[in-house]
Amino acid sequence: MAETSTNGPMLAADGTPLKQSLAKALKRQKRMALLLIAPLLIFVLVSFIMPIGSMLMRSVQNTAGTDYVPDILPNVVVALEDWDPATGELPSEAAFKAMAIDFAAAFENKQHTQLGRRFNYETPGMSSLFRKSGRPISRLKIDQVTDFKSELIGMDKDWGKIEYWATIKANSGYYTASYYMAAFDAERTLDGVQMKEPDQRIYQKLMIRTLWLSALITLCTLAVGYPVAWLLADLPLRTSNLLMILVLLPFWTSLLVRTSAWKILLQEQGVINDIWVAIGFTERLSLINNQLGVVIAMTHILLPFMILPLYSVMKTIPPSYLRAAKSLGADNTTAFLRVYFPQTLPGIGAGALLTFILAVGYFITPELVGGADGTFISNRIYFQFSSMGNWGLAAALGTIMLLIVLLLYYVYDKLVGIDNVKLG
Amino acid sequence: MKLTKMMMTTTALTLAAGAAFAESHGSMAGEMTVVSWGGAYQNSQVKAYIEPYQAMNDGLKVITDESSAEAVTKLRAMAEAGNITWDVVDVVAADAMRLCDEGLAMEIDPDTMLADAPDGTKAADDFGDLMVSSCFVPQIVYSTTFGYRTDLLPEAPTSVCDIFDTEKFPGKRSLEKRPIGNMEWALICDGVAIDDVYTTLETPEGVAQAFAKLDTIKDNVVWWSAGAETPQLLADGEVTIGSTYNGRLFSAIAEQGQPIGMLWDWQMFDLDGWIIPANLPAERQARALDFLKFATDTQRLADQAKFISYGPARASSAPLVGKHAELGIEMAPHMPTDPNNAKNTFLFNYDWWASYRDDLDAQFQAWLLK
């Protein structure tokens, strides 16, 4: 050893320096490992990261159909550059002419209604104007018309509405903040960006409701699941396995079936209300199609996600600790609060985090049993996505929700520490 | 975006390779994908149109799909990917107009592409006003209207405004969880003339008026989002009156024998029909057009009414509507277009709602949350 080190670097069998050779081998190993996980990596990238990324991008892209708005209205964008809607005057003749030219081209490419739909998200009425104007504007002889302003306004008086032109100007860039404004219940008016009337702020309300109900549901699963998990961890294996099947059985049943079962149980002419009336009460209870129904059904559905982490943590706590506490003079409450409970905290953390995050994104159950006041933000996102086709707003709402959950995760990490979470 | 495109193209190539093996008849494709709404409605189409058409075209393979509810979104995605896998698509009129405007549906010339009535009436005249878009071949007229429990109410409601009278007609109501229909009914029952309904709804005061009327029954409403919910709620006695599509109520009444009555007053008409996606390969387009011509002729539209209580869109089909194929009851009195049922009606105003739906929907949602 000493000899070789004095004669320069240590050499491997083939004469290359050992350090290099080792690094090479390590590199090869790493490459092999990467190759091994490559299929999974590519799969996650292609089916998860990229679609989510492209969806999130939609929340800021200012598109109508597949093309960007400024690409469809290139002349209008230029012509409106110097126009200030706050003056209260209509844009110049040049802007009207640019609109006629761009509009005719958009009509040719069948883009004019998509453009109308895009602007209609901001200002109701524009979709109808754009659809109706398609054919008439395309028939204009551009080089023969002298007064485009009166020509267009004569065609449809709505072309003379300043707020329509203001909307076009405000949404003529490649990127837009208007989806996020809508998601935060703000709107662009002639006096700048303003919050909507308090009773029109639906997304704020839905966001708060989603978080609050999810927290409540998490608490309920904890209250119901904690004793069950303790029982399971405390019983001899044979009995606890049997009981575990009872916990898992609903877990393996279709979500829709479980939700529908709650519908049958909770509705006004349902099983629970029938029993309630049979034992002498006259007033039937409203247990479903409201927030109560959502809390009941979702607590049941998410229960296994709380019980399983709790169980796996409790299983590792030796029963002798409690006995030791008692033999040292603690009563039952003190023994539980100071010895047993602190040791189950990692399980509570894991269960609560899991349940809460699942609850925030829940969709089917609130849709089916939520009625008017029990729906979640996810139901609204779906509605915007599938019924209204407003992917931008849906993406903005989704992004905000994602950020809120990440923020909560961060706060949780700071308060409890994510290392203290145990899934078993 | 690019990646999805690539993946879809690969799928397209695989599919195309499969289709190449399919037997071809002359210049028409040997395979056809028909998209509709599923359930009893699609069954009626299979029995009235597809099976007879297959009997005439030996070896034709028909694939049925139930994606009509997402037709617009899916056709957009298919067009973006450059691979359209559907041949004939059943959509509501509003969706047909959107697809036509965006160039996703092909234009249909009624004179050359559709069959004339047996008495020689031109197809365009036979369908009349119902051809609301140049890409759309109307098939049925359906309505959204009310059904009520005959045994749970002290007397039968006769006016749509009876749904706002919770004293005379106790119990809960089920209404669709969207402004369309509900806003119009609220205004009509608050004394607004039918011709003024939409101009009233354009003003904030008009919207407030409609919500104020709906407020009077808000605590007694169960909101539905799928057409099957109201028949179920009525059958369970959860609600005593509820709105849904008339065909659903017919099947609850006639096929399941539920104690439910029909309230036709101010039913809201809507149309459903076919479109053919734009830019199909020539063979497939020829096949789709051939099928469309057959499936929308006078006799075929009348045949469909044997299976479901939706009114045929051709004037010449009405006299041919016969008895239910299995129950043997006369179908005509159950049609929304029957003169006895169609005393007070209004047609879903596509154009108006296309402009105001986003806005009113947000307000409706805010109202629900209050």
Same domain, A155 and A290: no
Residue A121 lies in a domain: yes
Question: Residue A253 domain-assigned?
Answer: yes
- Whether A323 and A411 share a structural domain: yes
For residues A412-416, give the mean pLDDT: 81
> Per residue in B209-236, pLDDT tens?
999 999 999 999 999 988 888 999 999 9
Q: Are residues A77 and A47 in the same domain?
A: no
Cβ within 8 Å, pair A120-B72 = no
Query: Residue B226: its pLDDT value, please?
Result: 82
pLDDT of residue A3: 47
pLDDT at residue B105 greater than cutoff 90: yes
Q: How far is B304 from chain A (nearest CA, A)?
A: 28
Query: pLDDT tens, B265-302?
Result: 999 999 999 999 999 999 999 999 999 999 999 999 99
Grade residue A9 by pLDDT with cuts at 50, 70 and 90. confident
Nearest CA distance, B97 vs chain A (angstrom): 10
pLDDT at B125 over 70: yes
The pairing of beta strand A67-68 with beta strand A63-64: antiparallel
On whether both A47 and A68 belong to a single domain, the answer is no
Percent of chain B with pLDDT over 70: 93
- What does pLDDT average to over chain A? 90
pLDDT at B205 over 90: yes
Q: Please compute the mean of the pLDDT values over residues A351-359 and round it to a whole number.
A: 92
pLDDT at A394 over 60: yes
pLDDT at B13 over 60: no
- Please check whether residues A152 and A249 belong to one and the same domain: no
Among residues B129, B135, B197, B134, the alpha carbon closest in space to that of B160 is found at B197
The partner residues of B271 in beta bridges, in order of sequence, read B141
Residue type, A414: K
**Structural element, H or E, at residue B219:** none
Q: End-to-end distance of chain B based on CA atoms, in angstroms?
A: 40
Q: Which of A51, A200, A372 sits opposite B363 (nearest CB)?
A: A200
Q: Say how many Å lie between the first and final Cα of chain A, rounded.
A: 47
Q: What is the mean pLDDT of residues A355-372?
A: 91
Q: Which of A352, A281, A373, A260 is closest to A310 using CA atoms? A: A352
Question: Are residue A358 and residue A224 in the same domain, yes or no?
Answer: yes
Q: Give the HSE-up count for residue A403: Cα atoms under 13 Å, Cβ half-sphere.
A: 9
Average pLDDT over residues B188-211: 94
Q: Where are the beta strands (DSSP E) in B8-101?
A: 31-35, 61-65, 88-92
Contact A221, A305 (CB under 8 A): yes
Specify whether the CB–CB gap between B14 and B266 falls below 8 A. Answer: no
**Which has more confidence, A423 or A385?**
A385
Element (H, E) at B41: helix B39-45
Cβ-contact A363, A376 below 8 angstroms: yes
Among B216, B128, B232, B215, which Cα is nearest to B174's? B232
Token pair for B83 = 């691979």
Q: Assess contact for B87 and B32: CB atoms under 8 A.
A: yes
ipTM (interface pTM): 0.78
Place of tokens 């069950």: A228
Domains annotated on chain B, with CATH: 2-135+276-320 (3.40.190.10), 144-270+339-369 (3.40.190.10)
Whole-number pLDDT of residue B18: 43
Shortest Cα–Cα distance, A303 to chain B (Å): 28
Pair A216, A264 in one domain: yes
Domain that holds residue A212: 202-420
Determine the average pLDDT of the residues in A161-181.
93
What's the pLDDT band for A4 if we cut at 50, 70, 90? very low
Residue A57 lies in a domain: no
Q: Are A189 and A167 in contact (CB under 8 A)?
A: no
Chain B residues with beta carbon closer than 8 angstroms to that of A54: 1
Q: What is the pLDDT of residues A271-307, one digit of tens each?
A: 999 999 999 998 889 899 999 999 999 999 999 999 9
State the pLDDT at residue B129: 86
3-state secondary structure of A17: strand
The answer to whether residue A379 is domain-embedded is yes
Residues A412 and A285 in one domain: yes
Which residues of B are less than 8 Å from A372 in CB distance?
A: 177, 218, 221, 223, 368-369
Q: How confident is the model at residue A422 (pLDDT cuts 50, 70, 90)?
A: low
| Amino acid B338: pLDDT | 86
Residues of A in contact with B236 (CB under 8 A): 267, 269
Yes or no, beta carbons of B101 and A113 under 8 Å apart: yes
The mean pLDDT value for B164-179 works out to 94
pLDDT at B16: 45
Query: The domain spanning residue A337 has which CATH number?
Result: 1.10.3720.10
Task: Band the pLDDT of B350: cuts 50, 70, 90.
Answer: confident
- How many angstroms separate the Cα of A381 from the Cα of each of A114, A367, B235? 20, 12, 32
Cα(A206)–Cα(A185) distance, integer angstroms: 11
Inter-chain CB pairs, A–B, below 8 Å: 81
The per-residue pLDDT for A38 is 92
CA A270, chain centre distance (Å)? 34
Helix (H, G, I), strand (E, B) or coil at B141: strand
Closest Cβ–Cβ partner in A46, A127, A205 for B369: A205
The alpha-carbon gap from A199 to the nearest alpha carbon of chain B, in Å, equals 7
Is the pLDDT reported for residue B10 higher than 60?
Answer: no
pLDDT band at A12 (very low <50, low <70, confident <90, very high): confident
Are residues B223 and A268, on separate chains, in Cβ contact within 8 Å?
A: no
Q: With contacts defined as CB-CB under 8 Å, which chain B residues touch A65?
A: 76, 102
The residue of chain B nearest to residue A375, with distances taken between CA atoms, is: B369
Residue A20 lies in a domain: yes
Summarize the confidence of residues B189-213 as an average pLDDT. 95
Nearest-angstrom CA–CA distance, A220 and A302: 10
For residue A172, what pLDDT is reported? Answer: 92
Contact B102 A134 (CB under 8 A): no
Looking at the fold, whether A324 and A394 belong to one and the same domain comes out as: yes
Q: Is the pLDDT of residue A423 over 70?
A: no
**CA-derived radius of gyration, chain B:** 22
Same domain for A46 and A75?
no
Q: Is the dihedral of CA B17, B21, B23, B25 positive or negative?
A: positive
Q: Is the pLDDT higher at A7 or at B302? A: B302
In a domain, A242, yes or no: yes
- Same domain membership, residue A367 and residue A242: yes
In a domain, A192, yes or no: no
Domain count, chain A: 3
| Residue A42 confidence (pLDDT) above 50 | yes
Same domain, residue pair A30 and A82: no
Q: Is residue A194 part of a domain?
A: no
Contact A126 B3 (CB under 8 A): no
Structure confidence at residue B21 as a pLDDT band (50, 70, 90): very low
Q: Do A54 and B358 touch (CB under 8 A)?
A: no
Work out the pLDDT band at A7, boundaries 50, 70, 90. Answer: low
pLDDT digits (tens, 9 = 90+) for A234-280: 999 899 999 999 988 888 889 989 998 999 999 989 999 999 999 99
A194 forms beta bridges with A187
Are the beta carbons of B236 and A267 separated by less than 8 Å?
A: yes
Q: Determine the distance in angstroms separating the CA of B329 from the nearest CA of chain A, rounded to an integer.
A: 32
- Lowest average pLDDT, out of A141-145, A176-180, A366-370, B12-16, goes to B12-16
Nearest to B292 by CA among B78, B27, B19, B107: B107
CB-CB neighbors (< 8 A) of A389 in chain B: 72-73
